[in-house]
Amino acid sequence: MTALAEKMRWDIAQLVENTDPDWITSKLEEMVEAANGLARRYRGKIKDLDAKGLLALLTARDDFSLRYEGVTEYSSLRYSADSTDAVSKRLNEALKKAGTRAGQALAFMEIELGDLLKAKPGLVTDTNLQEYKHFLERIVRRIPHVMTEELEKITMSKDQNGVSAWSQLQGDWLGTRTFKIMIDGVEKTMPYGEIISLYQSTNRELRKESNRVVYDGLGRDDQLWASAIRSICGDHLQMCEWRKYPAPMTQSIIDNDVEQAAIDALMRTMEGSVEAYRRYLRLKAKFMGLEKLGNWDIVAPLPGVPEKKYTWEESRKEVVSAYRSFDPEWAGWVDEMYGRRHIDAEVRNGKRSGAFCASWLAGKSAWVLQSFNGQMGDVYTQAHELGHAVHAYLGSRHQKPSNYEIGSCIAETASVFGELLLTDRLLAEAKTREEKRAILATVLDEFGMAAYQVSARVFFEQGMYDAIKEGKFLDGETVSSLWTAGRDKIYGDAIEWLPEMKWEWTMKPHYYIPNYRFYNYPYVYAQLFVFALYRLYKEQGLAFVPKLRTLLAAGSSRSPTELAKDVGFDVTSEDFWRKGMQQFEDFVGQLEATL
């Protein structure tokens, strides 16, 4: 192994005392035993606990997860890094089995904790349990929506052949579709998973034709897709009634630990700010030499952008310096991630695609996986994942595992903030207008997809429930008209859509995933939240730094609304969210200036 290859490979042996696979599997067995031990000690007895007893239980639960974090993380990270290795496969299998058994052994806890808090609600505010206050509040919030044990059991088996089966059918159906397309005069037949890679082609006609072919094909099965989505929506409405959720979105609001008022303010801001996005899309069309962008051009790269490559050391320097401009301690942690070899960046066969960051709470650090090819996008990915690492460094220094279960609305705060720090640095270093343009378009496209496009999906989902309420029957054409209505609210006349795009909803797995309604607005929340924070940083300068530190260090010990309030922001007001929009508009303005 060359010195560089070694630097780009993580050293996960740090997670365990011993890397002998037999030792690891015996530790995993020990974990199952420890879970059984907790069950023996507490099953059926939680209802009798007083505050001190409950504190002992919650502490034991946290100690348990810290004690076995090393072996579980070692087994899963090793498999992510090389799934072809025989030992990795063996450890991954052992981990899955042990994880399921330990999970089953401890499943009683959540139910019994709910019963306990229902009987003794005063425990939530007991001073002995101060550290776990919000953890307990979240359980309390779910109590009114839990049914009797018998009904819960029946619901689970109903779902198996109900919502779960519809989701399985949608996935299987999509996975087995093939599409015919002409490439360089030769007709090719491609499965869905392959043809969608053509959406990113540098050949504009091919991008357009692949979109047309796919959605034309999917639309031919509209009866099947509509049956699935109609049944899933119908099931959800029925369950809302049984579980006493006042609105179709409520379950998701509770799961995400947010309030309806904040989401309403967020979505109103998005709806009121569509012109900024349309302005960007028109600008992008100009840069691409087009009258108007087609839907197949929305995230296409700008033409004529100089291809800039970064070495591993250059990337490290850019990312660490970006963080240093904000907080030297953060930069130190990020640099430590490289120095201690907590990043696996080498491109290799059998490695999981994409990138992720895994927190290592017991080690007060984290692990990052990516495949580094030296492109600007890879440097961004690195800055992003290392932002998650910073969050873990802060969280693990201040919170127990129960208070570091970060929900989707907050999870991307440090990571996207890091991307924006990198953006400012790269913009300052850019030597040509074309370079500047490429950086800004990358940031604006990402925001466009995560905030604006996903908002269209929120409008669509809400539209389906409203339509059902009005007594409409959701056949394929009706669902399509709701889809295009949501879409057009965002894009207006800034985009030319292929008529076949009305079938786009057919392939979105989220709408079919069981018990996962309104997956969408947390993405919008996360994106606009960070843009708003970044704007405030620009306005307040260094005075803002401790605020963001406090917010991240709190982990999940406070709700997203409280976290924001602690540092002086009100997420239920449109004024706060408008700050995020100002930052977006600022970037659009900078892009305009490169004309």
**Residues forming beta bridges with residue 369, ordered by sequence position:** 344, 356
Residue type at 182 in one-letter notation: M
Tell me how far the alpha carbon of residue 224 is from its chain's centroid: 29
Nearer to Zn ion by Cβ, of 72 and 415: the residue is 415
Nearer to Zn ion by Cβ, of 415 and 559: the residue is 415
Nearer to Zn ion by Cβ, of 75 and 415: the residue is 415
Smallest gap from residue 527 Cβ to Zn ion (A): 11
Contact 571, 560 (CB under 8 A): yes
* DSSP run (H or E) holding 178: strand 178-183
Of the candidates 403, 434, 391, 425, which has an alpha carbon nearest to the alpha carbon of residue 530?
Answer: 391
Contact residues: Zn ion, CB under 5 A: 415
Smallest gap from residue 415 Cβ to Zn ion (A): 4
Smallest gap from residue 412 Cβ to Zn ion (A): 5
Q: Which tokens in the block code for residue 14?
A: 């740090």
Smallest gap from residue 468 Cβ to Zn ion (A): 34
Nearer to Zn ion by Cβ, of 387 and 476: the residue is 387
Smallest gap from residue 548 Cβ to Zn ion (A): 16
Smallest gap from residue 416 Cβ to Zn ion (A): 7
Q: Quickly tell me which residue has 């800004």 as its tokens.
A: 440
Nearer to Zn ion by Cβ, of 228 and 530: the residue is 530
- Pairing state between β 365-369 and 343-344: parallel
Measured distance CA(446)–CA(440) in Å, rounded: 10
Of the candidates 477, 363, 400, which has an alpha carbon nearest to the alpha carbon of residue 70?
Answer: 363
| Residue 359, Cβ density class (10 Å: 0-12 exposed, 13-18 middle, ≥19 buried) | buried
Query: Which residue sits closest to Zn ion, CB atoms considered?
Result: 415
Smallest gap from residue 368 Cβ to Zn ion (A): 11
Of the candidates 407, 171, 453, 151, which has an alpha carbon nearest to the alpha carbon of residue 299?
Answer: 453
Nearer to Zn ion by Cβ, of 57 and 357: the residue is 357
Measured distance CA(278)–CA(180) in Å, rounded: 33
Smallest gap from residue 48 Cβ to Zn ion (A): 42
Dump the DSSP string for 134-165: HHHHHHHHHGGG---HHHHHHHHHHHHHTHHH
Contact 506, 219 (CB under 8 A): yes
Smallest gap from residue 30 Cβ to Zn ion (A): 32
Dump the DSSP string for 539-576: HHGGGGHHHHHHHHHTTTSS-HHHHHHHTT--TTSHHH
Measured distance CA(564)–CA(348) in Å, rounded: 41
Nearer to Zn ion by Cβ, of 366 and 495: the residue is 366
Nearer to Zn ion by Cβ, of 415 and 480: the residue is 415
Smallest gap from residue 357 Cβ to Zn ion (A): 7
